[in-house]
């Protein structure tokens, strides 16, 4: 339980209304009760404000006019809310030490204040840093590093030569450092190309559940600092992802592609191998990037959703598009 | 071994031909032998009927005319087959009790007749219901519930605040309750938004292998009863999926989208966040839903498959489509 | 450390320059130093050759003209490099025997020279062949076979009735043999159709991290020999994939589809169920195959990437395409 005025002081916000209002949790604008704090960031939800029972609402100054209960004024209400909500997050306790069921190679090093849960195996020469948490069922192979303050939530696999920076969080089922898909066709059969590199993950990165990041063929696959990967993302060998880039669920990057800083890759989007995307590029959901992008901006591919009957009719015409274009008269040669 | 007449009696079917025919297993129409039962549901396979060696065939009355061996007449042969096949399914035995290798928190409760396999960890305050099965390598975090008769096949992770109803089946590698992808950009760096909600899964749901369902940001992510998710599906935080909806492999729903009841979402299809799909909507494979759907029916996006040379020619013209349309004369402003 | 001349002799290559040059590792053309061997296969990288510090470069004869340092001449430099690089791959040692933490059913059989790591469970009647490696955290259910020389890297699940041939490699998080997505709608509720088949995987197959292969409904799901699956691929029940076919990450094949030999399926591509693809078909990334393909060749669907503003304009016109086509004059009825 904390007073609105205390929250204002702690997070450098301005309080309007009754600073004595007590907050014992957070809620949505529509669902919060008098003891809860909510936020208004998206103007779309402004209409919910009047009916909200929230005891305190974090909002922009412009939205506060006429609001009669307690408000905390923030330039960025969503970020302010994120900081406040941390106070109400139940955080599981991770006692330092190695669970007796776990199997740690004699040449590995685990910091005394790190937590290693049950059913964990740690391979040769690997190191678990200070304050790190390795949850139940994780497998850490040879020559890996889990940086200080990093957390492998549960059932994470670091196959080999995976180096995580500090404060990296990896969600369950993620697999880092598996052998990349390197194949040479030889006399009618596939030959495996050894994957000798590793994976390097910068400080403050987050890697979602069941995401996979292959190790490099010769050099490393690299995530720079503060990269955020959602669930079920596939990162091929030797990819490099720039700092502060975020990728939504089910997107994928094929081998040796380089993605810039501060990019946003939409859900289910794909990036073909061996190309480059510059900084500050947005790729919308389920688009496919097939050549390098050299200008910041938003990019898309695909067609709009239609009722199936209309879609069939129009999609069939796509097969004739070149002919239609030529009939329609001079529109150039297929390049804008 | 069971007689055709007994099957008819047990499943309320009509027997044609020799009710004494003995069935000791099931097979496909093409592959079944005289001791096996097959079914004919899809008219496409009707031509296989004459050549089939199956001892008994489950079929519609209309297909039975002229069939000279033993038939079981059903209004819905596929459903009837499903019920019969259960008799021949080898079901692994799950003895009640907790495997000695498993680690169960002192505050957790496991029903005496539940099965907890090897290498399982169960967190604080979690409960495993009567007759439930928790297979090898599962990780159950804090404050989770596995309802009566539910089964976590193996290596399932319930991160935290995941509540499963009764008779829910979760396949290996699925991760429920991981922190949703909640990020706020703050002074050039990403800030994590605490994910305080949980996941609620209704009775009789099925969740496929390596599928991920994130926990809610403030309120819960919800699957109503009898929702069926195939493998490698991604469900974002605060999504709600209506009862009896089925989603095929690799489909994905972004945060806060609401999907109705009795929907069918095709393989690899995507649903953008913060929108609503009404009941009884079919979305075809690899289509992307970018705005709310308010009418039941079938919806699609994408273009037809072509040989690559034709595709390149036509796809290049897609970049000129607006110009082509204007050349072609008045067809409206891009909205049907 | 090995001499260039020894590599030439061992791998049947021709040495140009100083055969005494010593190689102690491999590198990229751009990154290798004097003690390292690099390769030049893709003409795109030819310009890097002059500036490379690599001690030895594997290349085609045509590229060697004017090269002044040591070259190894190969008809296929990439395949030759793959063979050489194996010499420099750190291979983890897997001592024979079963880790004491593992739980092996009394009716299972593990070859004396096989390795079973920690936290592994092996079910009834399953067999682990000679020289096989079962890494940490794997779950092997009932009636499975891991063929001689095969490797389950870590945290692999074989649910039931999964038979792997020899020298099969399965990467972490893969799930083979889960119950396929077989459902019948019955009186407004889904009914599970028992999945009685298994999975058969031929010799020399590779299965990527977090890939899922469902077991067959009645007969088996089959991968013929030397099939190569990348990460996060979904294979539905009763699919058959021909020998030497390779599928890139995040691609998916729905139930009962048959794919031929020597096919290449691009990343994120989808194949609808119950159809056939002949031998030697290439499907480009994120394309959807909706009907059978009977001619070898390359196939595609989708639209090119554009800046979002242009895309919106053109994509809106896709909804009018049939009308545009009719305006533009006679181009046929939507079929090429």
Mean pLDDT of chain B: 96
Question: For residues A44, B280, C292 and A273, what is the CA-based torsion angle, rounded to 10 degrees?
Answer: 20
Supply the pLDDT for residue C43: 84
Q: Name the residue range of residue C109's domain.
A: 97-299
Partners of B310 on chain A (C-beta within 8 Å) are 319, 322
Judge whether B118 is closer than 8 Å to chain A, CB to CB: no
Q: How many helices (H) and strands (E) does chain A have?
A: 5, 40
CA–CA distance, A301 with A332 (Å, rounded to integer): 20
- Same structural domain for residues C239 and C145? yes
Residue B287: the pLDDT is: 98
Same domain, B109 and B216: yes
C182 and C44 within one domain: no
Searching chain C, which residue's CA lies closest to the CA of residue B249?
A: C234
How far apart are alpha carbons C300 and C266 in whole angstroms? 10
- C319 and C293 housed in the same domain: no
Q: Name every chain B residue with its beta carbon within 8 A of the beta carbon of A57.
A: none
Are B318 and A321 in contact (CB < 8 Å)? yes
- A62 and A193 co-located in one domain: no
Nearest residue in A to B138, CA atom: A137
Strand partners, C56: C37, C70
**In-domain check, residue A253:** yes
Chain C nearest-CA residue for A289: C305
State how far the Cα of A281 lies from the Cα of A245, in Å rounded to an integer: 9
Same domain, B101 and B195: yes
Q: Is beta strand A139-142 parallel, antiparallel or unpaired with respect to B56-59?
A: unpaired
Chain A (17-56) residues lying within 8 Å, Cβ to Cβ, of chain C? none
Strand arrangement of the beta sheet that strand B36-39 belongs to: B14-16, B70-73, B56-59, B36-39, B25-26
Q: Is B77 on the interface with C (CB under 8 A)?
A: no
Residue A93: the pLDDT is 85
Pairing of strands A2-3, A22-23: antiparallel
Question: Where a domain ends, among C54, C88, C122?
Answer: C88
Q: Give the Cα separation of A138 and B90 in Å (integer).
A: 31
Position B336 confidence tier, pLDDT thresholds 50, 70, 90: very low
What is the structure's pLDDT at B151? 98
Task: Tell me the residues of chain B between 306 and 335 that have a Cβ less than 8 Å away from chain C.
Answer: 306-312, 315-316, 318-322, 324-325, 327-329, 331-335
Q: How far is B78 from chain A (nearest CA, A)?
A: 27
Chain A touched by B256 (CB under 8 Å): no
Residues C205 and C274 in one domain: yes
Residue C291: count other Cβ atoms within 10 Å of its Cβ.
11
Residues B132-174: pLDDT tens digits? Answer: 999 999 999 999 999 999 999 999 999 999 999 999 999 999 9
Regarding whether B254 and B168 lie in a shared domain, the answer is yes
Q: Are residues C206 and C161 in the same domain?
A: yes
Residue predicted with more confidence, A47 or A269 = A269
**Is A208 in contact with B173 (Cβ distance < 8 A)?**
no
Interface test with A, best of B98, B117, B189, B212 (most A CBs within 10 A): B212
| CB A140, CB C92: distance < 8 Å | no
CB burial of residue C294 (10 Å; 0-12, 13-18, 19+) = exposed
Q: Cβ B246–C287 below 8 Å, yes or no?
A: no
Mean pLDDT computed over A159-176: 98
- Would you say A157 and A122 are in contact if contact means Cβ atoms under 8 Å apart? no
Mean pLDDT (whole number) for B95-114? 98
Q: Does A100 touch chain B (CB under 8 A)?
A: no
Q: Which residue, among B24, B81, B321, B326, would best test binding to C if mutated, counting the most C CBs under 10 Å from its CB?
A: B321
- Average pLDDT score over residue span A232-253: 98
- Owner of token pair 């002192």: B106
Residue B91: per-residue pLDDT: 85
Any domain includes A106: no
User: Are residues A265 and A162 located together in one domain of the fold?
Assistant: yes
Question: For residue C139, what is the nearest residue in chain B, using CA coordinates?
Answer: B136
pLDDT-derived band at A330, boundaries 50, 70, 90: low
Q: What's residue A331's pLDDT? A: 65
Q: Is residue B305 part of a domain?
A: no
With contact defined as 3+ CB pairs under 8 Å, the chains touching A are B, C
Closest by CA to A136, choosing from C231, B132, B126, B130, is: B126
Confidence of residue A305 (pLDDT cuts 50, 70, 90): very high
In this structure, chain C runs to a length of: 336
Confidence of residue A335 (pLDDT cuts 50, 70, 90): very low
Best to test chain A binding among C230, C279, C280, C315 (most A CBs inside 10 Å)? C230
Q: What is the mean pLDDT of chain A?
A: 96
Residue C18's CATH number:
3.40.1390.10
Catalytic hit among B99, B109, B115, B237: B237
* Chain B residues within an 8 Å CB radius of A82: 182, 184, 186, 191-194
Distance CA(C231)–CA(B61), nearest Å, equals 46
Where among B31, B65, B88 does a domain terminate?
B88
- Cα dist from B35 to A124, B3, B264, whole Å: 55, 10, 36
Taking only the tens place, the pLDDT of each residue in A3-41 is 999 999 999 999 999 999 999 999 999 999 999 999 999
Beta bridge partners of A335: none
Distance of CA A335 to the CA centre of its chain: 35
Distance separating alpha carbons of residues C221 and C218, to the nearest angstrom: 9
Q: What is the DSSP string of A76-115?
A: SHHHHHHHHHGGG-------SEE-TT-EE-TT-EE-TT-E
Assess B192–C contact: CB distance below 8 Å, yes or no: no
pLDDT recorded at residue A336 = 41
Q: Beta-strand (E) ranges in A22-91? A: 22-23, 25-26, 36-39, 56-59, 70-73
Domains of chain B: total? 3
DSSP-derived 3-state class of residue B180: coil
Domain end (from B58, B88, B118): B88
pLDDT category at B331 given cuts 50, 70, 90 is low
Q: Is B135 helix (H, G, I), strand (E, B) or coil?
A: coil
B282 close contact with C: CB closer than 8 A = no
Spatial separation of the C-alpha atoms in residues C138 and A297, rounded to whole Å: 45
**Which contacts of A47-50 are long-range, i.e. CB under 8 A and separated by 24 or more positions?**
none
A99 domain-assigned: no
Phi, psi of B141 (to 5 degrees): -80, -150
Say what the pLDDT of residue B44 is.
Answer: 84
Instruction: Give the residue ranges of chain C where pLDDT is below 70.
Output: 330-336
Beta carbons of C118 and A121 less than 8 angstroms apart: yes
**What's residue A95's pLDDT?**
95
Using CA coordinates, name the residue in chain B closest to A248: B181
Cβ-Cβ contacts under 8 Å for C149 (sequence gap 6 or more): C129, C130, C131, C132, C166, C167
Q: What does the H/E/C string look like for chain C?
A: CEEHHHHHHHHCCEEECCCCCEECEECCCCCCCCCEEEECCCHHHHHHCCCCCCCEEEECHHHHCCCCCEEEECCCHHHHHHHHHHHHCCCCCCCCEECCCCEECCCCEECCCCEECCCCEECCCCEECCCCEECCCCEEEECCEECCCCEECCCCEEEECEEECCCCEECCCCEEEECCCCEEEECCEEEECCCCCCEEECCCCEECCCCEEECCCCCCEEECCCCEECCCCEECCCCEECCCCEECCCCEECCCCEECCCCEECCCCEECCCCEECCCEEECCCCEECCCECCCEEEECCCCCEEHHHHHHHHHHHCCHHHHHHHHCCCCCCCC
CA distance B46 to B64: 10
Q: What is the CATH number of the domain that holds B201?
A: 2.160.10.10
In a domain, C262, yes or no: yes
* CB-based contact C101:B101 (threshold 8 Å): yes
CA distance A254 to A248: 16
Span A88-98, pLDDT tens digits:
998 888 999 99
Residues A166 and A273 in one domain: yes
Residues C38 and C110 in one domain: no
Closest Cβ–Cβ partner in B175, B184, B289 for A305: B289
Structural domain includes residue C304 = no
SS3 B10: helix
Chain B neighbours, 3+ Cβ pairs < 8 A: A, C
Long-range own/partner contacts, residues C88-93 (CB < 8 A, 24 or more apart): C88/A194, C88/A196, C88/C24, C88/C25, C88/C26, C89/A194, C89/A196, C90/A142, C90/A143, C90/A160, C90/A196, C92/A123, C92/A124, C92/A141, C92/A142, C92/A160
Nearest residue on chain A to C81, alpha-carbon basis: A193
Task: Look at residue B306 and tell me if it is in a domain.
Answer: no
**Beta partners for residue A283, in sequence order:** A265, A299
Residue A312 included in any domain = no
- What whole-number distance in Å separates Cα of residue B329 and Cα of residue B225? 51
Determine the Cα angle at A284 with ends A283 and A287, to 5°: 85
Q: Which residues of A70-96 are buried (b: 16+ CB within 10 A; e: fewer)?
A: bbbbbebbbbbbbbbbeeeeeeeebee
Q: For residue A38, give the 3-state DSSP assignment.
A: strand
User: Higher model confidence: residue A256 or residue B335?
Assistant: A256
Shortest distance between the Cα of B301 and any Cα of chain A, in A, equals 5
């Amino acid at each position: 339980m904390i007073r609105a005025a205390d929250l204002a002081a702690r997070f450098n916000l301005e309080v309007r209304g009754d600073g004595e209002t007590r907050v014992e949790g957070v809620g949505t604008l529509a669902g919060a009760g008098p003891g809860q704090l909510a936020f208004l960031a998206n103007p779309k939800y402004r209409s919910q404000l009047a009916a909200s029972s929230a005891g305190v609402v974090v909002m922009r100054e412009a939205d506060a006019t006429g609001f009669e209960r307690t408000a905390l004024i923030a330039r960025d209400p969503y970020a302010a809310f994120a900081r406040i909500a941390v106070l109400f997050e139940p955080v599981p306790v991770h006692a330092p030490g190695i669970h007796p069921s776990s199997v740690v190679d004699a040449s590995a090093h685990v910091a005394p204040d790190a937590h290693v849960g049950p059913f964990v195996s740690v391979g040769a020469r690997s190191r678990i840093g200070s304050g790190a948490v390795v949850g139940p069922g994780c497998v850490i192979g040879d020559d890996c590093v889990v940086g200080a303050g990093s957390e492998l939530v549960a059932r994470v696999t670091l196959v080999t030569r995976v180096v995580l920076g500090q404060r990296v969080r990896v969600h369950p089922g993620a697999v880092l450092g598996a052998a990349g898909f390197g194949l040479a066709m030889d006399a009618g059969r596939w030959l495996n190309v050894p994957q000798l590199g590793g994976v390097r993950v910068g400080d403050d990165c987050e890697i979602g559940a069941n995401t996979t990041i292959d190790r490099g063929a010769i050099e490393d696959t690299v995530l720079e600092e503060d990269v955020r990967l959602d669930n079920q993302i596939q990162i091929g060998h030797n990819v490099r992802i720039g700092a502060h880039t975020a990728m939504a669920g089910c997107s994928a990057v094929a081998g040796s592609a380089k993605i810039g800083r501060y990019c946003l890759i939409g859900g289910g989007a794909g990036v073909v191998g061996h190309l480059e995307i510059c900084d500050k590029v947005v790729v919308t959901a389920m688009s496919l990037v097939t050549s390098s992008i050299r200008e910041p901006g938003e990019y898309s591919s695909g067609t709009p959703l239609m009722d199936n009957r209309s879609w069939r009719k129009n999609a069939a015409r796509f097969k004739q598009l070149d002919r239609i274009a030529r009939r329609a008269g001079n529109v150039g040669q297929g390049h804008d």
